[in-house]
Structures are given as C-alpha cells and as structure tokens.
Amino acid sequence: MGYPEKARQLWTIRLDEASDDMERAILYSFISIMYDDMGEYSKALEFQEKSLEIKKQSLPPDHIDLASSYHGIGRIYSGRGEHAKALEFYERSHEICKVALSPNHPNLATSYNNIGLVYSKMGEYSKALEYYQSSLEIRKIALPPNHPDLATSYASIGSMYDDMKEYSEAIESYQRSLEICNVALPPNHPDLATYYNNIGTAYDNMCEYPKALESHQRSLEIRKIVLPQNHPHLASSYNNIASVYNSMGMFSKALEFNQRSIELGKIALPPNHPDLASSYQDLAVTYSHMKQYSKALEHLEQSLEIRKIALPPNHPDLAIAYRNIGNVYAHMDEYSKALDPYERSLEISKIALSPNHEDLAQIYSNIGLVYSSTNEYSKALEFYERSLEIRKIALASNHPNLSTTFKDIGDVYYQMGQYSKALEYYEKSLEIRKTALPDNHPDLVTLYNNIGFAYDNMDKYSEALEYFERSLEILKLTLPPNHPDLATSYNSIGNVYDNMDESLKALESYEKSLEIRKTALPPNHLDLAVSYNNIGFVYDKIGEYSKALESYEKSLEIRKTALPPNHLDLTVSYNNMASVYDSMSEYSKALDLYERALEIRKIALPPNHLDLAKSYTNIGHVYYKMGQYSKALESYEQALEIRKKDLPINDAELATCYSSIGNTYYNMNQYSKALESYEQALEIPENDPDVAITYSNIGDIYRLIGDHEKALKYHRKALDIQENAECKPVDCATTYINLGETYREMKDYETALKYFEKGIEIRKNKLPKNHPDLAVGYHKSNANRHRRQIIDGTNPNVRVPQQNFGGPISLSNVPLNSLNNPNIVISNERNNLQQFNTKNNPPIIASQPQVEPVRSHGFYNNPSFQPSPFTGAKPLGWFGTNRINWVSNRDSELDKNKLAVQKNPPSSTNPQTNIIQPRKDGGPLFLEKIAQQYASKGQKAFNFGQFETHQGRGSVCSNHENFGGFVFGIFSCPLPANTGMNQLDQFCCGPANYQYCCNAQEFSQSQRGAFSDNRFIDRQGFSTRTDFSPSTKQILAIISPIGSFIVLVGIITLVILYYKKIRKEQNRIGKLAGAIRLEDNYSIVPQEPPMEKSIFPQNEQL
C-alpha cells in the first residue's frame, strides 16, 4: 500500500470526526489530492467538487478559499489532459485572486504560473511564456532579489524555452535560477542539484554532451554530499548520466549507470516501489538503443509487474508501461505482438482518462503506426484520423502534436506511393508549425525534410534539393558546426545528387557528413557506419570498386564492434560488399556474402519475413549471372513463396518475382513458362512504366517464336504506355529499338530504320558518348540501312545471295556484359531500389534499356553434331592459296607486319612478343573442321529453318569463305561447349566475311593489327553474307571508305575499354536481364529517414 492510499484512509477516518462543514470541506480537499496522486481522477474530482459546494454555501463569492478549490479542480482536469476545462477553473481561481489579493501578492504570481503551465501543455508557448513572465514580474517586486521563488520562476521560463527547443535561452534562464540559489541557499543544497540537472538536460538536447555530463555529475556530487548514500535521488542522477551516454552512443557506459541506479533502488526502496519500476524502464531504454530487444522486453516486463502491484488496475502509468512494451515489439518488426500491448494500453486509458485526452490520441497514433508498418494502410489511416479528431478538440489549432498527426497521415500516403496526397498533409503540418514557431525553428527541419523526400520520390529533384537546403540552412543557424543533425542533412542532399546521377556532388555531401560525424561521435558509432556505407555506394556506382570495398569494410568493422553477431545491420554490409564483388564478376565471393546475410536473417527474423525473400532474390541473381539457371529458379521461387504469404495478392513485389522467374525461363529457352510468368506479373497492378516493361518482355518472346504480329502488338502497347506516362527516356529508346528489330525481322527495313533512328537519338541525348548501348544502336541502324540498300538495289558494291535472308539476323556484335552473364538472352527487367529507412519507401522502379536477344541460326544446338578431326586435302578457304593465310605465311609481304607471328614463335628476342597466335581449340582451324564435317555431308550453306537457334552470348560474326563448297554466313560466338570450343571465345576476329571466334586478348590484338586485315570491310562497316569473287574483293578494298573502317574499329575498341564501367551505367539505365540490380539495394544508399519517423512516436520514448 503506497503513501497516498494510507493518507487517504487517514483523512477518511478524520472525515467521520469532523465537527462542522468547513472542516469537512478541507478534508474533502485533502482526500481529493490523495486520489489525484493515485491517478483516480474521477474520485478526486468528486471530492473536490463536494468541498467546493460546501465553500460556496459558507463563503462570499470572492473568498480566497474558493480560489483554492477552483485551483484544485483545475489541477485534476490538467492531470486528465482536459486542458480547456483546466484553464477554465484556473482562470476562475485567478479572477478571485486578482480581487482578493494585492496586485503584487506572491499567490497571484503562483496563479499566473499555473495558467502558464496549462498553455504550455496545450502547446501555446507564446501565451505560456507571457504568463510565466507576469509571474516573474510580480515576484521581482514582492520578493527579495535572491528569493528562491524567483529561481523557480526563472526555472519555469527555462523549461518553456526547453519545450520550444530554444536551448540557449533555456540554459540562460536556468543559469540565472542557479545564480540566485547559489546566493540564497547553502553550497550543497539539494535544489542546486536539481538546477544542475536542468542545465545538463538542456545541453544533452543540444548534443553538447561533455557539458551535459559535467552538469549531471555536479548534480550527483551535491546529492552524494547532502543525501544518504542510498537515497532515491541518487538513482535519478545515475539515470540522467546514463541518458547522456545513450545519446553519445556509448551504450556500455550508459548500461553501467543504469545498473547502479537499479542496485541503489533495490536497497533504498521497497521491492514494488514505482521508482524502481522507472529504473527498470530506463535500463530497457539502453538495451533498446543497443537493439538488444529481448533484454529490453525483460526489463519492461519487470517494470510492468511492479506497477501492477503498486498501482490501481487502471492507473495511467500502467497504460504507459504497456505502450512501451508495444514500442519494443514494433522495433523488432513483430507488429502482431506490438498490437496486443497497445490495445491493452488503449483499454486502460479509455477508463482512466477523458475521451479527448491527449494520451488516447497518442495510443491511436501508435496503433496507426503498426498498421502502417504492416502495409494495412486503410486501418492505419483510420487510427491516425481518430488521433487527429481528438487533438483537434483537445489542443490549440497550432499545437505541435496536431502538426505531428498531419505528418503521420502524410507518412501513410507516402508509403502508399501517393506522394501528392502526402505533400498535402505535410504542407498542413508545415503551416501549423510556421504559425506556432519562429522562421528558423529546428522543428521546421522535420517537415522540410519530409517534403524533400516526397519530391525526391516523385523524381522532382530540384524541388527536393530546395527543401533539403532550407533544412540545412536552419540547422546551420541553430546548431553548432559539428552537430550530428547537420551530418544527416548533408546525407539527404547527397542522396538527391546520387539520384540525379551527379556522383561527384553526392560524394562531396557524403564526405561532409562523414567529417562531422567523425568529430561529433565516438569512433564506433553506428552513424559512422552509415556514412562509410553511402560513400562506398558512390564508389561502387562510378566503378571504383576497390574504394567501394574499402568503405564498406570500414562500415562492417564498426557494425561488428557495436552490434551483436546476428544483428540485421550486418546484413546491409554483407549485401553491399556482395554487390561490389558482383560488379567485379567475382561471383563466388558475392555468393558467399549473400549467404552470410541470409544466415543472419534466418536467425534474426520470422520464417516468412520479406527480407528473407530479398536475400533469396539476391542469391538467385548471382546464380542467374553464373548461368546456373536451375539454382537461380530455385532461389526465385523461394522468394516468391515468402512474398505470397506476407504480401497482398496485388503487391508490386510479386510482379517483380514473376518477372525474374520469367527472365530465367526465357534464358532456358522455355518460352511458354516464361510467357506464363510474365502474364502473371501483368495481372498485378503496377505503375504504368513497369507494365510497359512486362508488355515488352512478352513482345520479345513472341518475336523469338516468330509470331511477329503479336510481338508488334505488345511492343506497341509498351510504347503507348511509355509515351503517355512519366517514364525514363532510355526505356522509350529501347522500345523503339525493339520495334525496329521486329520490323527488320519482318523485312520492313524502312520502318525498322525509322524506329532504330528514334532510339539512337534518345540514347545520344541521354547516355554518355562512349556508352556501349550507343554502339548497339548504331550497329543495328547501319546494318538495317545496308539491308535496305541491298533490297532497293542502291548499294552498288553488293550482290544479293538468294538463300541468305531466310530468317532474322541479330546484329548486336557488342559483347554487352557477356563475360559476366554466360548464356544470357538479354531481355527487360525491373530494378527494385528501396530507400533504407527511412522513408519507409515503396520500391523505386528503375528501368534498364532493352537489348534484343543475341541469336544465331545455325547448327550449334544440334545434339547430334560432333566435329571430327580434320582429314583429307585442305579445301579452298582460310588455308587456301587464294585467301588470306593466317598461319603459314603464304601471303604477300604487305601482310607480314599486320598478321600474327607465323614462322618464328614469340620470344624475348622477338619484337612481337605481345602478339598471340591463333589456337588449335578455336579460330579459323576450328571453323574449317566444322565446315569439313558439313561439306562431307554434301551441304553447301545453312538453311535457317533447319536447326535450333543457339543462345550465343557474344558477338555475331560473318564468314562467307567457301570451305570446300560450304559457306557459314552469320553465326554467334562462342560455339557450344559440346563442340570443343573454349567458352571464352566470345569475340569476332578477322576481317568482315572472314571472321572466326576468338578470346578477349586475341580480339584486342586484332584491333592493334595483330590479326586484322581490313581490306574486306564494306561501306557500312557491316559484314554481309555474300561470297564475293576475288576481283570484286579487290575493287571493294580499293573503294571502301577509310572513314567507315575507323568508325567500326573505334566503336569496338571503346566497348572493350569501357567494359568495366558497364555496371556503373547499368545502375542508372540498364535493363539487362543478366544485370538485374539486387533487391537489397535499398540498403546500399541508406537514406536517413525524415525526422520524427522513429517507431517511437513523438514524446513516446520509453
């Protein structure tokens, strides 16, 4: 039984012994105060009203004792959160005091103070300040200059400035209060400890942690001197010091002081004392900061058990205890478990508090946050709107909590992707704060940031930058130069520059953020890990992989030091490092890191958590790039099963899964299954640009199976959406090129050329001048123009072989990422880039340019074909007397300096040591073996309908040599492994119409003249399928424009030189199925969230 209950019982006994009504009135007031202290407000109000009725009958209307009763009723209503009624009764009391007392009476000052306190709770800070200052003016006149009550007034004004977050003014007022007490009180008076505590709290809020610690430690020293060694106020000082260490991120030190507080409380207090419950709660705060949520829950449960024993069953402090437990479960993403304690808190608050109490509004907001986090947005909006209705009644129209509720509703619309609605509510919130606060108040920063994030997600980057820069300007004016919030602001600006692909500006902002954090924070603070992570991302993006890895490893080391071994933030580092290794084509390392991340998530998360699906997707992407499609498919299907259980049936992430599965089947040549998956993706409503990508995928399949009518239909659907929706220009460019390819296959070369040129024009404007996709576009356009000249008869240098245009010919001889993506058929893919945080972002869809599947139309997939060793006389061809001789050096002296070393092998004395000789497992010799095999069967040339298509992943070559009566024509490198060819032979070496498969080194040498002979390249730089006579070739060699040769060689050389940068460009515009961005890229740029987005709602810290 606590003190208030014992006192109540005593006053109740005295009530029976009262001799007259006035004595009963006084006892009713005492009993009311005890019920008020116990949190039983209705009973407190009942007894105070009984006291008032007696006084009204016995006393004149302006008697000072009536003022006391009105004050008591106002105090109860204030405790219940009914501030309007509290104000009404305080003002009645004040009116009596103004009549009954002299103008400078100290009790009148007290009355002003009480009214100021109510206005403070209502958030009307200017009015509150006005009343506090009126109280101070009276006390300055009525009291000596160093009276302790003056110190109290200054402390009240300081507290007001503290609430307004004007911390420098707060400290100034607290200091004046302290100066008075230093004169008026003994050197170690307990009140001095209280004022030092106030100053320490203000410095803590300003993030001036050394000064905060100094003040709190001074408070502790005084208490140690004047109080018994086990006094509860010492426990309070220990908890205050722990709070500062928590703010500094020094959780082990915070834990030490929390535990001292509990040990002292166990000695000084009864086992079920409410103050002991508070100490357990403070310890839980520290464990929560350390993200050791199970321990935080354990101590919150201890706190709750004490309060269940010490307090009445419906005491408001029990509601707060349940709410704190809900907060921790929410931090753990266990929202179903969070909902139960929140609802218990709501039940108690409905009984204990008035219907429009602010605490009820807060609980409704908490429940809204849970539903928002589980994507149940309609329910979230319902609870937030209940909170809003209460706050509209209970609070002033410009109260900050009303602004917070508008912001919370804006957050839900933000998560729903309804950014215009989100902006509407953010602007309402901003208007309230602009009315209530000065122009440069720090609370405006929150709204400027949120509005900036909304514009950022709408791709309105200039508007986003404007708001982030406004936020930064306020912070520069109101905070010290190395305050951590400045670092957060620079980080947000860096994120926008990154989205604008201004990587150098992004890097500059991230590095400013890092420098501030290095100064302001301990060396292992987790915010430093975030900064290193963001810098690593930029280096990853611009292709400086070693620097990216260095930054990511620093981030990982901090997290390993500061976090438990299975903490989820470690998965962010592992995933990001894996992404770099993925970019470097070190797939085994990437796979190892992704699997580490998966193992942690399996331990730390429920079995169907969406992050597990993301890990399976990442692993699937790596297997995909390794060409291990069955393993990729297995991982994608595991991801899909999790998402089916955890997401609504129309969620866009399911569409992404189906698209990935479709791409995998696509590359396995299982077109019917791919089509089925794409159509399942199409059934899920998505943003228009993403639907367009799906239509284009389906169009690609129909084109591959030769149904050009349907291919055109779906490509046109894609283009219709892209031309009428807000999509990335490079996506439209790719659709134009795909349409062009379809028309080309239909032999409508004029229409094909029109679409190719449209696509090229967009790419010229949007891509770097040396980007390989431009090479692809130019090659297709030139090839198609050449084909049209052939058909029109406008190319005088070409004769048309009748048999060689029976099927589509893929002209993509630029090996886009082919070394990274074996055996891929390049298609369309959505890139899911979610922002860390923060923003609680929905996925940001980044699309990548579609490049047509590289196809060949020969014998390569024929399982019955096995090349036999070359036997018999050499036919005319690569080794013939009337062709260029690449091995035996039978050609003229003109060729000797251009071709490979022929008679003398490379050696240290040979000046051509960098030249690589053709190998026996590839090159012209290998082609001749294959040709001999077919020539022996009587075949003269390819029949395009006879053989299955080959998934050539490299360049497309042309060879029109006559190998004993057999002509190759167009084919794709490398040949399948079952032919014995080295699978690294993915390039075309040799002159046009005499090409063979070679590796990267040979190809590079050919560009420098080691294997090249440029005498047989036609006007457009494109190898035709025509078998020219020797005289025609001599004519072509003479009239072929040198410029065309330079353009072709230049393009191919640039592709090789820029190969390592392709991954960087794909981050921005790539849509290659073999270069799918990882779903965990939301963690690669962990944008810090808009302020106030903590799972702990405002004013709801444990």
Q: What is the pLDDT of residues 1001-1031, one digit of tens each?
A: 676 665 544 333 322 222 222 233 334 445 5
Task: Calculate mean pLDDT across residues 907-935.
Answer: 53
pLDDT greater at residue 732 or residue 73: 73
Pairing of strands 830-833, 844-847: antiparallel
pLDDT at 1080 over 90: no
Please give the pLDDT value at position 859: 26
pLDDT band at 756 (very low <50, low <70, confident <90, very high): confident
Enumerate residues 6+ apart whose C-beta is below 8 A from 350.
Answer: 360
The helix/strand/coil state of 515 is helix
Please give the pLDDT value at position 827: 26
Cα–Cα distance, 591 to 395 (Å, whole number): 55
pLDDT at 798 over 50: no
pLDDT greater at residue 646 or residue 898: 646
> What's the pLDDT tens digit per position in 826-879?
222 222 222 223 333 222 222 222 222 222 222 222 333 333 333 333 333 333
Task: For CA atoms 546, 556, 587, 582, give the dihedral sign.
Answer: negative
Please give the pLDDT value at position 775: 54
> Residue for token digits 């090839």?
783
pTM, 2 dp? 0.49
> What's the pLDDT tens digit per position in 945-956?
333 333 344 566
Strand partners, 969: 959
pLDDT greater at residue 348 or residue 732: 348
Please give the pLDDT value at position 216: 94
CB contact burial 225-261 (16+ within 10 A = b; e otherwise): ebbeeebbbbbbbbbbbbbbbbbbbbbebbbebbebb
Q: What is the mean pLDDT of the chain?
A: 74
pLDDT at 688 over 80: no
Please give the pLDDT value at position 826: 25
Q: Does residue 54 contact residue 25 with C-beta atoms inside 8 Å? A: yes
pLDDT at 1 over 50: no
pLDDT band at 725 (very low <50, low <70, confident <90, very high): low
Cα–Cα distance, 570 to 173 (Å, whole number): 45
Please give the pLDDT value at position 985: 74
pLDDT at 435 over 70: yes
Cα–Cα distance, 929 to 931 (Å, whole number): 5
Q: Does residue 582 contact residue 817 with C-beta atoms inside 8 Å? A: no
Please give the pLDDT value at position 343: 93
Measured CA angle at 776 (ends 775, 780), to 5 deg: 115
pLDDT at 2 over 70: no
- Range of 200-204, 794-798, 873-877, 940-944 with top mean pLDDT: 200-204
Please give the pLDDT value at position 819: 27
Please give the pLDDT value at position 939: 63
The helix/strand/coil state of 957 is strand
Share of the chain above pLDDT 70, in %: 69
pLDDT at 162 over 70: yes
Q: What distance, in Å, lies between the first and last C-alpha atoms of the chain?
A: 26
User: In this predicted structure, which of 11-25, 255-269, 364-378 has the lowest mean pLDDT?
Assistant: 11-25
DSSP class of 956:
E
Name which of 282, 285, 318, 280 is nearest 299 in CA terms: 280
Q: For residue 718, give Cα distances in angstroms to 16, 148, 711, 780, 800.
A: 88, 78, 11, 21, 35
Task: Calculate mean pLDDT across residues 248-257.
Answer: 90
